[in-house]
Amino acid sequence: MEPVHASVPGEKTKITTSLVDTASAAIQTFGPPNKIHQHLCVFHMYADDMTRQVEAHHYCCNVNEDMRQCLIYDRPEPDARLIGVEYIVTEDLFLTLPDSEKPLWHSHEYEVKSGVLFMPGVPGPVERQDLDKMAKTYGKAIHFWQVDKGDELPLGLPHVMMALTRDGQLYPNLARDMENRYGVTFEKEKMNRANMEGLVHGVHPKANAAGIGLKTVLREIECKPSGISSLEPVPRAPK
Amino acid sequence: MDPVHASIAPEVPGEKTKVGTSLVDTAAATIQSFGPTKQIHQHLCAFHFYADDMTRQVEAHHYCGHVNEDMRQCLIYDRPDADARLIGLEYIVTEELFLTLPDTEKPMWHSHEYEVKSGVLFLPGVPGPVERKDLEKVAKTYGKTIHFWQVDKGDELPLGLPQVMMALTRDGQLYPNLAKDVESRYGVSFEKERANRAYMEGPTHGIHPKANAAGVGLKTVLREIECKPSGHPESVPRIFV
């Protein structure tokens, strides 16, 4: 299925709004987002439905040598929609996760070695320096905006996402479309990356949802009130 | 239970970023462009609490950009420093857009009127008059916030499921010590700002009864189900067996 690029409903940003934004931007600093140093392109699938495959543009930064945090947009343009996030950790950190947590994480070895994961515009040798490390990591990806359904706004619950783990999963038309737009060839990259090692201990059996489908659902429960003893308890919503 | 302040939470485990890594990053950064993230034009500070537990209150540094006049998307970090942890995100829409949402969707969104008018939501460093020009609009909006890293529990890594978050809707909810701490660090006074913002109006149609989770608790849980395979001619299981 071709990616759907519906625009977000609403007026185009007014000049007065942009001016206020610019005034703030001149005064404030944006330390955390300014650390973003890398654009990665790859596909995610919904953890309960592999037929739903989404192009995911990651904008990543290193928190430290063992962990990255990435913002995921639906395309690499200024008007892109923020559709998800991904955390990436080394194998060492992954192995410290509780067993109940591991299924929410996916391995990157296949994505990297198949050539499907790439850094747009970066020359092969520089790219491969980093991808060599990426092949040994695990990621936890969550999406909040189901752009593949054509949702104009971010509706519904956040979804856990999974990544490609073997040949035959990715729809060929999505692959071709990506290759054309970025002038890359996955097969060629696969050969260039043949020497990369993957995970030292192999793909953990609990990763990649251990092969099961995962779906987030919402449960309504008693909300625990803030219980400030000096004040009268108040309900959350104003009457 | 004393709320844990995010600034005293533990560091992310792992080695400090190596120079070699930074060099590769810098090389990539000079070649690539970061169009989407360059849209970020505003830093907003506010508090969120978990939609099933109001005792867990989290300081949330929002970095926002306009998608268009009616919608913003914000990244949420635990502090405004370069080594901050990405803990959540928030979408902000005008009342008009909010009213187009299905009724099943509205409970996951919260109103901003109280946060703005109480003075608790502010733009660090921005002079009052400039700040108020924008906050006049924010007071009429609704937000959908999801957090994925429970820093208030002291989690060193982003564990568990993403959780829907809610915002302050009346006096008496926010823990005084958290309020005092933000006021000291940023040299602001919520009471004073409240007086300055008394003229502001909230949503034209009042706060929608279905917003703010309609007053119930919401918790995201995981259900294991049959995964729908990709149905590609040579249909393959997801993982190696």
Q: Which of A137, A136, A119 is nearest to A128 (CA)?
A: A119
pLDDT of A227: 64
pLDDT of B125: 92
pLDDT of A221: 84
Cβ contact A121–B31 (<8 Å) = yes
Distance from CA of B132 to the nearest CA of A (A): 10
The 10s digit of each residue's pLDDT in B198-236 is 999 999 999 999 999 988 889 999 888 878 777 654 444
Residue pair A49/A213 in contact by the 8 Å Cβ criterion:
yes
Residues in chain A with CB shorter than 8 Å from the CB of B149 are 87
pLDDT of A100: 94
Average pLDDT over chain B reads 88
Cβ contact B166–A236 (<8 Å) = yes
The span from the CA of B149 to the CA of A45, in Å, is 22
Residues in chain A with CB shorter than 8 Å from the CB of B89 are 82, 85, 144
For residue B20, give both structure tokens: 């070699």
Q: Which H/E stretch holds residue B24?
A: helix B19-31
Which of A55, A174, A226, A232 should we substitute to test contact with B (largest number of B Cβ atoms within 10 Å)? A226
Q: Mean of the pLDDT values across residues B167-190?
A: 95
For residue B185, give both structure tokens: 């660090």
ipTM of the complex: 0.87
Cβ contact A153–B97 (<8 Å) = yes
Distance from CA of A196 to the nearest CA of B (A): 17
Distance from CA of A193 to the nearest CA of B (A): 17
Indicate the pLDDT class of residue B54, thresholds 50, 70 and 90.
Answer: very high
Burial class (CB in 10 A: 0-12, 13-18, 19+), B211: buried
DSSP H stretches of helix in A155-229: 172-182, 186-192
pLDDT of B19: 80
Model pTM score: 0.89
Per-10-residue mean pLDDT of chain A, 239 residues long, equals: 61 83 82 88 94 95 93 93 97 96 96 96 91 96 96 95 94 96 95 94 94 88 70 44
Q: Residue B28: phi, psi to the nearest 5?
A: -60, -45
- Plot region of A210 (φ>0 → left; ψ -120 to 50 → alpha; else → beta): left
Q: Which of A56, A60, A51 is nearest to A41 (CA)?
A: A56
Cβ contact B126–A101 (<8 Å) = no
pLDDT of A25: 81
> Would the pLDDT of B43 be above 80?
yes
The span from the CA of A158 to the CA of A178, in Å, is 25
Cβ contact B225–A214 (<8 Å) = yes
Q: Which of B28, B175, B217 is facing A221, going by the closest CB pair?
A: B217
Indicate the pLDDT class of residue B10, thresholds 50, 70 and 90.
Answer: low
Residues in chain B with CB shorter than 8 Å from the CB of A225 are 54-55
Indicate the pLDDT class of residue B4, thresholds 50, 70 and 90.
Answer: very low
For residue B167, give both structure tokens: 């915002």
What is the interface size between A and B, counted as CB pairs within 8 Å? 385
Buried b (16+ CB within 10 A) or exposed e, B171-182: eebbbeebbeeb
pLDDT of A228: 57
The span from the CA of A198 to the CA of A196, in Å, is 6
Q: Which of A96, A126, A220 is facing B27, going by the closest CB pair?
A: A126
What length is written for chain A? 239
- Taken in order A43, A50, A205, A156, the sign of the CA dihedral is positive
Cβ-proximal residues to A177 (8 Å cutoff; 6+ apart), any chain = A2, A3
For residue B212, give both structure tokens: 């703010």
Residues in chain B with CB shorter than 8 Å from the CB of A111 are none
How far does Cα A226 stand from its chain's mean position? 33
Which of B18, B94, B148, B157 should we substitute to test contact with A (largest number of A Cβ atoms within 10 Å)? B157
For residue B38, give both structure tokens: 């360059």
Q: Mean of the pLDDT values across residues B188-201?
A: 96
pLDDT of B231: 62
The 10s digit of each residue's pLDDT in B103-157 is 999 999 999 999 999 999 999 999 999 999 999 999 999 999 999 999 999 999 9
Distance from CA of A109 to the nearest CA of B (A): 12
Cβ contact B224–A212 (<8 Å) = yes
Buried b (16+ CB within 10 A) or exposed e, A63-84: bbbbbbbbbbbbbbeebbbbbb
Q: Which of A73, A166, A232 is facing B240, going by the closest CB pair?
A: A166
Percent with pLDDT over 70 in chain B: 91
Looking at the DSSP bridge assignments, the partners of residue B33 are none
